[in-house]
Each structure stands twice: as structure tokens, then as C-alpha cells.
């Protein structure tokens, strides 16, 4: 499973696949939800009185962290802050640990133990008939890239091009560039370029991210460079909730590819870019 599944699949389906038991209980320290994985079992506990929307969001956040890291115990508080415990000895009661006999850490583990259950079902099968199933079945990376380019040029009335040879070598870490142009009527049109000298799976996910970014510029808090260009990095990280990365992952899957981690950084405009020829529409 991937963190996309934590946000796209129904909570009941996720619980069934992961073998989760759900319950409600008063918790401590402003915690609103716990996930405890011990001896092959997973328990999710939420405080009573949460709205269905908040309860679902807290549970999905727990599943996201568990799928991503496999931590043995995870808490989410009322401000959506996450803490965790890496592992438990067999004789330790996880509830006692969370109640204060062992303090959760405040960041990701270097080498957390993999306590995630083994999956016996192809995750793709879980999407059959859902709004997140591929529109035309599962397809090759190149077919998905072609579909994403068509999405940008047709649905978004933009431009989708391979990174031109004359701009190489690219600044370190840059995988794509997105700019926004306007026509004579003031209508917005995205301009997207993605490098070609990287594996097809990474290119497909980058095209998906650039398409999502083009449609969701109001969701980012990074400014483009002086030429109005956003520099998209290649270093992946997991989807952690609603936003551009989740839209990118869902879009890639709808067009036929199981995305990998689809959160890509928007880089500070690199100094090397000043020496490179400007991209042309």
C-alpha cells in the first residue's frame, strides 16, 4: 500500500485490509486518536464526540503515518500534530506507554521496525468501481505520460513539452518547470516542461504533479522566480493529506498508473538557472 491509499480508499476498506479494530475512549494530552500495532494486531482509538469529518481525517492521518513508516504507536492531537513510538517489547502494554511510561518521539524514526501487515490482495483491485479507478484500465508509463500531456494541453488549455536540449545541464535536483501565461483576454494557460533523462515512472509522476500544480496554484505558498517559473524538484516524499500532491497521485492513477510517492518539492530558484537560456513556450 501507499499513502495515496490512506486518503483515497474508504476508511472501512482500509480497516479491513489492515486488520484494524476501532473503538472510542477518552485519551490524554489533547490526543484525539491513537493507532497501536502490536503482535500482528492494529487498534485505532478515537475520542468520543468528534464529528464524522474530523474523525475520518484523524483516522486517515494515522493510516498514512502507519503505511509510510510502520511505527508501532501513533497519536494525533486536536491540531493534527503527530507523535510516535517506534516499537514495543512484547511485555510492554502499549496503552501504558502512551499514557506516559515511555515518551513518544517528535519526528520520523531513522530505522523504524516494519510492523505493517503483509498484503495478500493487489491494492489495485480495491479501487474497482470507485471514483479513483483508472478511466481506461492500467496502462504503461508512456501511455500515462501521453494522457497527462493531453490533459494539460486540452483540459487546461496549456502547453506540455519535453525540456529542450539547450537548457541542459539543468540546475541540480530540478525535474520540471511550470509557468503560467495569459492570453490577450487575460485567461490563464499553464506551460509545463519535464526533463526526459530520468526513468519513465518518475517522469509520469512528475507530469502528474505538474498538471496538479497547474490547476492548483492557490494551494502553494512558494513564489515563482523572476520569470514566473516554478522549479519542481525530483526528490519524492509521501502524500500526507489533501493538497497538490494528493491531486497529482489521484490524477496519475485515474489515467492508469499506480503512482509512487507523489509529493515533489518546489525549489528556491537556483542560481544556476540565471545562466541557462530561458524556456520558450
Is the Cβ–Cβ distance between 127 and 9 less than 8 Å?
yes
Q: How far apart are the first and last CA of the chain?
A: 38
Q: What is the pLDDT of residue 114?
A: 46
Q: Give me the residues paired with residue 177 across strands.
A: 193, 231
How many CB atoms within 10 Å of residue 18? 20
- What does pTM read for this prediction? 0.82
Contacting residues for 224 by C-beta, under 8 A, at least 6 apart: 179, 180, 230, 269
* CA distance to 40, 52, 87, 180, per residue, from 233 (Å): 37, 36, 33, 18
**Length of the chain in residues, anyone?**
281
Q: What is the pLDDT of residue 110?
A: 44
Q: What is the pLDDT of residue 100?
A: 40
Q: What is the pLDDT of residue 89?
A: 41
Q: Read off the C-alpha cell for 67.
A: 503505511
pLDDT tens digit sequence for 23-53 = 999 998 899 999 998 877 899 999 999 999 9
Q: What is the pLDDT of residue 270?
A: 59
Q: What is the pLDDT of residue 223?
A: 86
Q: Which contiguous run of DSSP H or E holds residue 95?
A: helix 94-96
Low-confidence ranges of the chain (pLDDT < 50): 88-94, 96-117, 120, 272-278, 280-281
Interatomic CA distance for residues 274 and 258, integer angstroms: 36
Contacting residues for 202 by C-beta, under 8 A, at least 6 apart: 175, 234, 236, 260
Q: What is the pLDDT of residue 167?
A: 87
The residue extents of the domains of the chain are: 3-127, 141-275
Amino acid at each position: 500500500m501507499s499513502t495515496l491509499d490512506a486518503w483515497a480508499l474508504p476508511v472501512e476498506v482500509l480497516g479491513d485490509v489492515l486488520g484494524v479494530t476501532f473503538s472510542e475512549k477518552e485519551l490524554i494530552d489533547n490526543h484525539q486518536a491513537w493507532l497501536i500495532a502490536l503482535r500482528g494486531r492494529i487498534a485505532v482509538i478515537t475520542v468520543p464526540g468528534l464529528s464524522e469529518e474530523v474523525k475520518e481525517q484523524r483516522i486517515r492521518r494515522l493510516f498514512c503515518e502507519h503505511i509510510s513508516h510502520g511505527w508501532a504507536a501513533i497519536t494525533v492531537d486536536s491540531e493534527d500534530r503527530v507523535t510516535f513510538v517506534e516499537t514495543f517489547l512484547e511485555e510492554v502494554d502499549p496503552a501504558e506507554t502512551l499514557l506516559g511510561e515511555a515518551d513518544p518521539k517528535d519526528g520520523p524514526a531513522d530505522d523504524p521496525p516494519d510492523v505493517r501487515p503483509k498484503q495478500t490482495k493487489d491494492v489495485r483491485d480495491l479501487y474497482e468501481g470507485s471514483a479513483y479507478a483508472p478511466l481506461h484500465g492500467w496502462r504503461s508509463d508512456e501511455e500515462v505520460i501521453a494522457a497527462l500531456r493531453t490533459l494539460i494541453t486540452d483540459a487546461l488549455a496549456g502547453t506540455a513539452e519535453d525540456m529542450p536540449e539547450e537548457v541542459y545541464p539543468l540546475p541540480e535536483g530540478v525535474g520540471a518547470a511550470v509557468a503560467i501565461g495569459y492570453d490577450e483576454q487575460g485567461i490563464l494557460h499553464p506551460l509545463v516542461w519535464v526533463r526526459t533523462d530520468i526513468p519513465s515512472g518518475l517522469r509520469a509522476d512528475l507530469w502528474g504533479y505538474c498538471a496538479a500544480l497547474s490547476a492548483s496554484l492557490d494551494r502553494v505558498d512558494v513564489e515563482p522566480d523572476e520569470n514566473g517559473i516554478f522549479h519542481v524538484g525530483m526528490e519524492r516524499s509521501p502524500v500526507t493529506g489533501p493538497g497538490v500532491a494528493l491531486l497529482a497521485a489521484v490524477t496519475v492513477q485515474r489515467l492508469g498508473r499506480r503512482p509512487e510517492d507523489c509529493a515533489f518539492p518546489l525549489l528556491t530558484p537556483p542560481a544556476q538557472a540565471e545562466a541557462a537560456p530561458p524556456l520558450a513556450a
